[in-house]
Structure 1
């Protein structure tokens, strides 16, 4: 997105699609066309409401006037079909009303050369996923600048306030319960007094915080008549006698518009469009950045050493491998060792197809992949082939890094897979492909997050998350000259927003990848990232006096929504659901060869776990011995274990420390769910067995100690 895009603005006449168009202009893009879908004409009525799942149709007779009012060509097409596919996940489905977009957008692209499409979706995954599906098929970049706007701005009311600030006149043309009655019809929703009335009605109805203030649940719909002069060359005028109220029953009512006209403005006073762009960092992460920038040199600290004979095994019960989850490391066959990157990628894809066939599962059972490349420049090449594995929506989450010469000789890539044997009906995904202010879009075959039940019938879920680099979401570019601390905090905020959206309350552990190009600074960069991880997990201070806030107001007041999670979300970290130690999840920084886009940092969590009042996590106190340290977390019927071992100061062999730590774990020679390891390149003769291994140049823990290796276990607790 380094060059301005030629944008098709999907418009319904509603406030969101028009305001999203303004943000396209704000970012320097050219809106070359307006596109709209409308119901087939009715012989008996001047206008009617289709009540479409996908498209707003109230006020559709006014839409042709936007071409004159905005001075932008308008393309329209009739809506045919209905909601054949009603789920959030959408694939091409014949007869579904979504498919009407395809010929409409194709015609616009053919006549204008457009390469992007904008939509006004704010919280509706139903609409967003359908536009993204069509955009992807047509090769168009999806722009959704309003997506999750309440999250990035702090509350729902801020968005309506921003619309009012730029002079948007958005009249309410339909109400459908949600605490609103026909007395709200034809009011300007961007007016502060009307907004307060809506917020009051939503509080009484108990639906504030679910997008109701913005009409996201269909509580109301709007029609924009005017806006800033830089966009609206003319104002749409509807006289009182040219509209009437239609009552549908059940509290629903809408405005039928009989006639409308455009009243042109004085072109000599038109000014450039300026709308507020949300801050890149929200208050919590701005505070963390400020703390990092003031951070002084500190000592690595010390750890309590407990010998294996003194330490008690800290597992709750014996653990075994989870039969519902497979962790598999794939390398090219020896016969393919001299083949090109394309040939080795094809070889691995063939191995994956064979693996899926043998287990009688499809590629939708793959929940996460880690792709290890010799050269990051091969990313584009392998991506085209990798995409063929996932013809269905919502591919697995993914991490991609370059290991350079750390990969075996003549090996261009390796792929580590996590596969689930759970029924696919329990699989959930977060797969946002639209550029917004929220978090980086998925430009490629991966999802931000995939979640599954820890085991069938369990309330808690385990979540895999894609690696997060510090891209600016709205432009999908890296920041320039803001320093490592800023990059680390921005990438961490991406991880937090994704985790919060899918209900994560606790992480298993995190590895921050650092590129070798920053060799001289990586020890300090590891320290900065470790401090950010510690800051973001700071437990609430229970000793401070509570503010004198009415609890009912605190729950419902949109201004206070920033003090905790939105309704329906878990807090992250969810300290209320954590029992045992108050230590944050383990942190490690690993120096590898390179990262995508030349990023300075990538945050990669081992797993996320959802929490609730009735299902939490138990964090066991870290146990350390001579050359090793163990951290365990138990979640429902599973145990997540991190064993790190260190370079010995007295010359003891690494396998001694490793054997010592395994004995304390009670493993006694058994792998028992071991899934992988991060190893310093100097560690020799390490038996990988069935787990994956990521060799690294250097590794540090959260206390600035050099680490020889980190082993990750996941086991099912025997009950």
Structure 2
């Protein structure tokens, strides 16, 4: 990609440019924001480094690249972490600058920044890039600062300290000193006082005088003065004010740089009427009039699971019994429109949605699905953060459903923490679009489906399926670390989607990789788990980007890790019902549970051919009649009831209850749904004292196969999740 680099003069923005080149990108221009007054060294800004701005003008000549500069006219007006376009805010100066650069160099597709740990800065750069249709590159994001500092020095960045503001750093001693000379001292200060060795906590700022990208010349600072901002005797604050400098030219470069606007040119971008008022707002329901949701003639089936507590799920799909289809766009518009209407009727909105499962009939329509998706789920509607999401292809049409099936998990509050990183970095795959890497709500972390993508290149890892699996797990671990947890210690459920093109032996490799990965990180962290996480394997026709595997973890992150389990024990959920207890012998061997008593419970129930043979007393379980299927469903309901009772949960505590089934049942979804409805009605009648509610509390999901292992031999797999949080 052709990249415009944001430069402050500091070491981080310079090294970020070097990393861009490492990954095959081309730096075609530089951009810098500076104070209105040249004599001012530093502004009261969390967004921009301006100390040393007098020297940045020379970067154009040093690198032989055009430099675009703008004076900062705004101030920090929008103080929330997630930025919203605000007139007069200093972020709008960045927008005006990049907007003008984009006009002059239309080939630019990405913007580089040196963000390492500041969500405040990263989110604002991402916001501006999103409005301009640019990609944010942040290759230093979440990298170990000690290693970063070592790499910068080793790779030839020559930078001096131009500001200090931390215990252990003295303006009189350290201003003007080279970073390489101070590295041992900075490491010592980290051990003594816990400072960030790269200065990410504001401890110090730097000015780069030379680096490998300065192919034409390097900078020499001839004269400067030290200005004390705060003479505090514990942590004095001082800055270096440059007075004179000169450039020392290097050997003539054999091949000169070519730029659309001229090498080494410095341009100043002033206010242009209309630039700062780009309307990036989204109408409340723009897609209704555009595509005519309210005039659709499709038969919509809505499945709602409502907890008596604080969370519920909604599943919506198209009933397509005639086996004809109008296409994904129309189906997805209808489904999302119906879900939005249902949310609004109950006083909710997309802001309440924690997680979205997007199932489509053909992965070739993935881009089209995203185009429709962004018309409904936007950052404006979800100002606390867009929901996390996973997307897979399912055999929807084979069972008489439409082209789109959507499940949403909804909370009745806004107490969630969302991690949404859109920048491409070395940390974990970016989310370029309205979905986030993870959402934490009431001690449960719902993570987006992770593919085996190499984060800095956003391409699938080459090699075997197990290679992609390992990368997907590493990506998941990187996301988990942002919440101060690990898969090894916190994972309670992992759904592993496998592509249909995989052989049985390849799926077995994936399962082995999953097990060995958890053993490895558990040993390295010396983590002792109460029980192992629940693993659910699902075979899907196709996954995004042609991936072979997609991993979707769910983690439990207790607010108080020292809580005693005994203190959370609730009263018994009730006496065990005598309802088809003839299924008890089969039940004991076909389920897996992870439970934190009094908090959460997740479980799988596997109905294999062997189980069917026992339940139905049938020698040939592959020939399943409607009556046999009814017995299987009754067994599933019995199993769910027993799991809930054994773990001190009520039916009203369920946040979702899913039944995965295969098209091999030779039954349309609508017919299967009727059987489930009737069995649940029978159970509800027999258990009047239980909180089941009047609405159906389950969703039926067609898959190629599923199970608790990579063999995926289940005829039906039941997944439940209950919570008292």
Question: What interval of TM-score do these two structures reach, taking the shorter chain for normalisation?
Answer: 0.7 to 0.9
Aligned partners of 1:675, 1:158: CA distance in 2, in Å? 44
Pair 6,662 (structure 1): closer, same or farther in 2 beyond 3 Å: closer
Work out whether 1:444 is the aligned partner of 2:433.
yes
Work out whether 1:479 is the aligned partner of 2:427.
no
Work out whether 1:244 is the aligned partner of 2:263.
no
Aligned-partner SS, 1:360: coil
| CA-CA distance at 1:522 after TM superposition | 4.8
Aligned partners of 1:600, 1:142: CA distance in 2, in Å? 27
Aligned partners of 1:110, 1:602: CA distance in 2, in Å? 39
Work out whether 1:329 is the aligned partner of 2:315.
yes
Is the 1:586–1:702 contact (alpha carbons within 8 Å) kept by the matching residues of 2? Answer: no
Work out whether 1:661 is the aligned partner of 2:642.
no
**From 240, 251, 256, the counterpart of 1:266:** 251
| CA-CA distance at 1:409 after TM superposition | 2.4
- The aligned residue for residue 488 of structure 1 is 469
Aligned-partner SS, 1:652: helix
Is the 1:627–1:645 contact (alpha carbons within 8 Å) kept by the matching residues of 2? Answer: no
Aligned-partner SS, 2:338: helix
1:294-313 map, 5 Å: none
- The aligned residue for residue 609 of structure 2 is 647
Work out whether 1:676 is the aligned partner of 2:657.
yes
Is the 1:644–1:707 contact (alpha carbons within 8 Å) kept by the matching residues of 2? Answer: yes
- The aligned residue for residue 66 of structure 1 is 59
**From 552, 565, 579, the counterpart of 1:604:** 552
Pair 429,626 (structure 1): closer, same or farther in 2 beyond 3 Å: closer
Deviations 1:544-586 (CA, angstroms, capped at 9, x unpaired): xxxxxxxxxxxxxxxxxxx76xxxxxxxx964xx5xx4x3201
- The aligned residue for residue 369 of structure 1 is 356
**From 116, 134, 151, the counterpart of 1:140:** 134
Aligned partners of 1:110, 1:16: CA distance in 2, in Å? 27
- The aligned residue for residue 189 of structure 2 is 201
Aligned partners of 1:617, 1:496: CA distance in 2, in Å? 26
- The aligned residue for residue 83 of structure 1 is 76
- The aligned residue for residue 303 of structure 2 is none
What TM-score comes out, normalization by structure 1 length?
0.78
Aligned partners of 1:603, 1:184: CA distance in 2, in Å? 48
1:515-534 map, 5 Å: 515-532=499-516, 534=518
Aligned partners of 1:714, 1:125: CA distance in 2, in Å? 32
Aligned partners of 2:699, 2:256: CA distance in 1, in Å? 59
| CA-CA distance at 1:517 after TM superposition | 1.8
Deviations 1:41-88 (CA, angstroms, capped at 9, x unpaired): 15xxx3421131100010011111110111111000011221112222
Structure 1: gaps spanning 5 or more residues: 151-155, 273-319, 454-460, 541-562, 565-572
Is the 2:438–2:448 contact (alpha carbons within 8 Å) kept by the matching residues of 1? Answer: yes
Deviations 1:139-186 (CA, angstroms, capped at 9, x unpaired): 001111101111xxxxx2111111111111111100112432212211
Deviations 1:401-423 (CA, angstroms, capped at 9, x unpaired): 0013565325001000001111x
Aligned partners of 1:176, 1:27: CA distance in 2, in Å? 34
| CA-CA distance at 1:95 after TM superposition | 1.5
1:410-489 map, 5 Å: 411-422=402-413, 424=414, 426-453=415-442, 461-480=443-462, 482-489=463-470
| CA-CA distance at 1:704 after TM superposition | 5.2
| CA-CA distance at 1:608 after TM superposition | 4.0
Is the 2:492–2:532 contact (alpha carbons within 8 Å) kept by the matching residues of 1? Answer: no
Pair 705,345 (structure 1): closer, same or farther in 2 beyond 3 Å: closer
Aligned-partner SS, 2:402: coil
Aligned-partner SS, 2:124: helix
Is the 1:247–1:254 contact (alpha carbons within 8 Å) kept by the matching residues of 2? Answer: yes
| CA-CA distance at 1:615 after TM superposition | 4.1
Aligned partners of 2:490, 2:256: CA distance in 1, in Å? 48
Deviations 1:286-328 (CA, angstroms, capped at 9, x unpaired): xxxxxxxxxxxxxxxxxxxxxxxxxxxxxxxxxx935211111
Pair 186,269 (structure 1): closer, same or farther in 2 beyond 3 Å: farther
Is the 2:444–2:554 contact (alpha carbons within 8 Å) kept by the matching residues of 1? Answer: no
Is the 1:440–1:473 contact (alpha carbons within 8 Å) kept by the matching residues of 2? Answer: yes
Aligned-partner SS, 2:103: helix
Aligned-partner SS, 1:260: strand
| CA-CA distance at 1:629 after TM superposition | 1.5
| CA-CA distance at 1:450 after TM superposition | 1.1
Is the 1:526–1:700 contact (alpha carbons within 8 Å) kept by the matching residues of 2? Answer: no
Work out whether 1:714 is the aligned partner of 2:703.
no
Pair 624,224 (structure 1): closer, same or farther in 2 beyond 3 Å: farther
Work out whether 1:102 is the aligned partner of 2:95.
yes
**Which one is further off, 131-140 or 668-677?**
668-677
Aligned partners of 1:475, 1:22: CA distance in 2, in Å? 15
**From 469, 477, 492, the counterpart of 1:508:** 492
Find the structure with the greater CA-based Rg: 2
Structure 2: gaps spanning 5 or more residues: 258-305, 570-584, 617-631, 678-695
Aligned partners of 1:213, 1:514: CA distance in 2, in Å? 42
Q: CA RMSD in A?
A: 3.0
Aligned-partner SS, 1:187: coil
Work out whether 1:21 is the aligned partner of 2:4.
no
- The aligned residue for residue 51 of structure 1 is 44
Aligned-partner SS, 2:430: coil
Is the 2:216–2:253 contact (alpha carbons within 8 Å) kept by the matching residues of 1? Answer: no
| CA-CA distance at 1:532 after TM superposition | 3.6
Is the 1:47–1:257 contact (alpha carbons within 8 Å) kept by the matching residues of 2? Answer: no
- The aligned residue for residue 357 of structure 1 is 344
Is the 1:616–1:635 contact (alpha carbons within 8 Å) kept by the matching residues of 2? Answer: no
Is the 1:627–1:646 contact (alpha carbons within 8 Å) kept by the matching residues of 2? Answer: no
Deviations 1:458-480 (CA, angstroms, capped at 9, x unpaired): xxx22111000011111111122
- The aligned residue for residue 545 of structure 1 is none
Pair 666,332 (structure 1): closer, same or farther in 2 beyond 3 Å: closer
Work out whether 1:340 is the aligned partner of 2:303.
no
| CA-CA distance at 1:223 after TM superposition | 0.4
| CA-CA distance at 1:354 after TM superposition | 0.8
What TM-score comes out, normalization by structure 2 length?
0.77
1:561-640 map, 5 Å: 575=528, 578=529, 581=530, 583-610=531-558, 612-615=560-563, 625-634=587-596, 637-640=599-602
Pair 244,102 (structure 1): closer, same or farther in 2 beyond 3 Å: same
Pair 503,523 (structure 1): closer, same or farther in 2 beyond 3 Å: same
Work out whether 1:40 is the aligned partner of 2:33.
no
Deviations 1:249-296 (CA, angstroms, capped at 9, x unpaired): 331101001122211111369999xxxxxxxxxxxxxxxxxxxxxxxx
Pair 639,670 (structure 1): closer, same or farther in 2 beyond 3 Å: closer
Aligned partners of 1:533, 1:611: CA distance in 2, in Å? 26
Pair 36,322 (structure 1): closer, same or farther in 2 beyond 3 Å: farther
